[in-house]
Amino acid sequence: MLSALVVVAAPVFVAQALTDTSIVTVIVDKVISVSSANTVSFTVIPTTDGVLSNDSDIVTVSTNSTLGYNLSISASDATAVLTGSPSGTIPASANTYATPAVLANNTWGYAVPSLGAFDASYATETNSSTSTSKWAGMPILASLQNIKSTSSVASGDTTTVWYAAKANFSTPAGTFTDIVTYTALAK
């Protein structure tokens, strides 16, 4: 007699859970953008005693930096001189950011309302012989002048910058230009 023993092995399942974790790290860099109208243009019709005209630009800054940003201004070169075409120059005013003052004849400058010693507000002036507005001479590229400092995230934050020139008959007729640079730095 032959007997057989058949053993059937069934899989054995053990109830257990295994876990693992991953750390997800996302680094969001600070970013900043700055823009302006790109062109400020106004006309001065000189007189013997000199007259002033002005116009403004709006600088817009956005940043995700929770510490805010610094906004600076300067000429884009080492002279800050308006160069005339066909000839002539209009130098930046000798007035400083710390002590803005009325423009002298045949100079140009900028102002930021309510900043430091600048006037609280500015308005458009065209060929004014009685202007009392305070202006500072444009700093050269190597000497950026901070004109705004914030301490939080900014979206479309605007700063109005005014520009003026005063001329008498000593300034030759022509179109005078220089490039101004706005530098925005995220903190």
pLDDT in tens, 37-54: 989 999 999 999 999 999
Across 5-9, 55-59, 62-66, 84-88, least confident range: 5-9
Which residues neighbour 144 within 8 Å (Cβ) at sequence distance 6 or greater? 72, 73, 74, 183
Range of the domain at 53: 32-186
- Does 15 map to a domain? no
Number of folded domains in the chain? 1
- Does 1 map to a domain? no
Query: What mean pLDDT, rounded, does the chain reach?
Result: 94
| Rounded Cα gap, residues 56 and 88, in angstroms | 24
Whether 164 and 111 have beta carbons less than 8 Å apart is answered as yes
pTM above 0.95, yes or no: no
pLDDT at 25: 95
- Does 27 map to a domain? no
What's the CATH number where 94 sits? 2.60.40
Helices (H) and strands (E) in the chain, counts: 0, 10
Percent of the chain with pLDDT over 70: 92
Q: 6 falls in which pLDDT band (50, 70, 90)?
A: low
Token pair 């996302």: residue: 26
Of 55, 54, 30, 71, the closest CA to residue 159 belongs to 71
162: alpha, beta or left, given left = phi > 0 and alpha = psi -120 to 50?
beta
Q: Could you read off the pLDDT of 88-145 as tens digits, one per residue?
A: 999 999 999 999 999 999 999 999 999 999 999 999 999 999 999 999 999 999 999 9
Residue 76 confidence (pLDDT) above 90:
yes
Residue 5 confidence (pLDDT) above 70:
no
- Does 8 map to a domain? no
| Rounded Cα gap, residues 107 and 34, in angstroms | 27
Whether 142 and 38 have beta carbons less than 8 Å apart is answered as no
Across 15-19, 68-72, 80-84, 152-156, least confident range: 15-19
Task: Return the H-helix or E-strand segment holding 55.
Answer: strand 51-63
Q: Mean pLDDT, to the nearest integer, of 56-76?
A: 98
- Does 118 map to a domain? yes
- Does 182 map to a domain? yes
- Does 143 map to a domain? yes
- Does 4 map to a domain? no
Residue 117 per-residue DSSP state: T
Q: Mean pLDDT, to the nearest integer, of 26-38?
A: 95
Which residues neighbour 126 within 8 Å (Cβ) at sequence distance 6 or greater? 42, 43, 53
Measure the CA angle with vertex 126, ends 123 and 127; round to 5°: 135
Q: Mean pLDDT, to the nearest integer, of 13-35?
A: 89
